[in-house]
Structure 1
């Protein structure tokens, strides 16, 4: 008895299709490549930001929204990608004479294990705090601090956070927010 050639071809084609499907599923090649379909912001709520250092903390996705989240005594900004909060910045006026380590102990989500510029900047793999120079509210005796947190990001990079907080704080020092308290 001779095997039916049509049946053998169908069996071979089905076997090949199943094998290809399994291979793609196992290797992940069956998924469309995810990419970032939005532009990296150059400013966050009016303050220039180091886009190159910010980019790794932002995930792939379709839409980005930068939302002002300010309130009395603090200027805040939220970065939302595809409706998920990824990154926040804050500029907060706090009592004079504090250190960044003191502020970090109260404002940070986790321990900031690194410091730079004699403790002026405190940072970890996903958040950072800085103390501005010359941003003093003489009436209320307060100083301006900067805070950046990438709590919604999967990326962790202490050196990028350090670059971000230093460049961001320098931009805040040039802003109207810095000089507003000197009046």
Structure 2
């Protein structure tokens, strides 16, 4: 029988390699707890009431949520941050009356004009964004030459149906505020 040089070294390397492989398999297969949402889901977005059931599926786990409102001529925006990172961004915008959801989606981030449409084209939605037309009450809509639209964008992909449900609820909520008369 021949003794090969480095035979013991080779065997030791195989044992160490097998141990490392086994340890990594255990680490990959061990179930780490899912991150959890510690913060309370807000009841409004920068003053606009919103249903928790519509908002919750769009939000990530984290410790702390904060809202950052901003305004410009014809636009109100709201950013919801979780642990300092933007998780959801919304806007309420005044547009010309003849603008379609696809037109709004063209300039909105997170949604594409070719994404799915609903309710006769009133909404366009995808995995990272949605737009929807606000049905303003006739008495407060003011001019017939304008329309109010809402947009929503999420930082992490969400279920398209969740984004549609949110943008529908948000548009309905905006219709009950003074946005129709003031934008």
SS at 2:56 equivalent = helix
SS at 1:34 equivalent = coil
User: Residue 146 of structure 2 aligns with which residue?
Assistant: 142
Q: TM-score, normalised by structure 2?
A: 0.76
Q: CA offsets, 1:56-87, max 9 Å, x none?
A: 22111111111112222111000101111110
Shift of residue 179 of structure 1? Answer: 2.3
User: For residues 143 and 64 of structure 1, what CA distance do their matches in structure 2 show?
Assistant: 31
Q: TM-score, normalised by structure 1?
A: 0.76
Q: Would the aligned equivalents of 2:70 and 2:78 in 1 still touch at CA under 8 Å?
A: yes
SS at 2:90 equivalent = strand
Match among 155, 159, 162 for residue 161 of structure 2? 159
> Which runs of at least 4 in structure 1 moved beyond 4 Å after TM superposition?
none
Matches within 5 A, 1:16-165: 22=23, 25-29=27-31, 34-112=35-113, 113-134=115-136, 136-138=141-143, 141-150=145-154, 152-153=155-156, 155-165=157-167
Q: Would the aligned equivalents of 2:110 and 2:128 in 1 still touch at CA under 8 Å?
A: no
Shift of residue 104 of structure 1? Answer: 1.1
Q: CA offsets, 1:80-100, max 9 Å, x none?
A: 011111101100111221111
Q: Let me know the Cα RMSD of the aligned residues.
A: 2.4
Shift of residue 26 of structure 1? Answer: 3.2
Change (3 A) 1:115 1:28: same
User: For residues 74 and 60 of structure 1, what CA distance do their matches in structure 2 show?
Assistant: 29
SS at 1:97 equivalent = coil
Unaligned runs of 5+ in 2: 1-18
User: For residues 101 and 65 of structure 1, what CA distance do their matches in structure 2 show?
Assistant: 31
Change (3 A) 1:95 1:34: same
Unaligned runs of 5+ in 1: 1-17
Q: Would the aligned equivalents of 1:137 and 1:143 in 2 still touch at CA under 8 Å?
A: no
